[in-house]
Amino acid sequence: VYDDEEEEWFRSIFSNSKKEEAIQNQYEFFVQRMGGPPLYSQRKGHPALIARHRPFPVTHQAAERWLYHMEKALESTPDIDADSRVKMMNFFRHTAFFLVAGDELKTQKQQIPCKHGASKPAES
């Protein structure tokens, strides 16, 4: 993502974060989430993905671009079998759009109306 030569807008999302730290964070997070030791949590605490990504614009367009890079990375890693690639891409897709939903809630300050949230006390 740091070397995205086609989409400057996407590369700029990462301009305030150190590449080496981002690589370490992502590696440790994926190892942990895919059944390995809790490397990420041991070093940084709970992943809290939405909160940790709050400073960044995680739009549908950004998620799709990130997924493009993840797919290219998997394709360039011959040691990963086809079944594992599919499972990893499914996980990446789920995670990317989970963050998009979190970003939409943040940017829209969306409040979901609920009849139970009315100001009158509940009837007995």
CATH number for the domain including 30? 1.10.490.10
Q: Is residue 116 part of a domain?
A: no
Q: Is residue 121 part of a domain?
A: no
Specify the higher pLDDT residue, 64 or 106.
64
The pLDDT tens digits of the residues spanning 27-86 come to 999 999 999 999 999 999 999 888 888 888 889 999 999 999 999 999 999 999 999 999
Q: Is residue 1 part of a domain?
A: no
Q: Is residue 124 part of a domain?
A: no
71-79: Cβ within 8 A, 24+ apart: none
Specify the higher pLDDT residue, 45 or 121.
45
Assign 109 a pLDDT band (cuts: 50, 70, 90).
low
The single residue listed with the structure tokens 């360039």 is 76
Q: What is the pTM of this model?
A: 0.77
User: Is the pLDDT at 118 greater than 60, yes or no?
Assistant: no
Residue range of the domain that includes 38? 8-107
For the chain, the domain total comes to 1
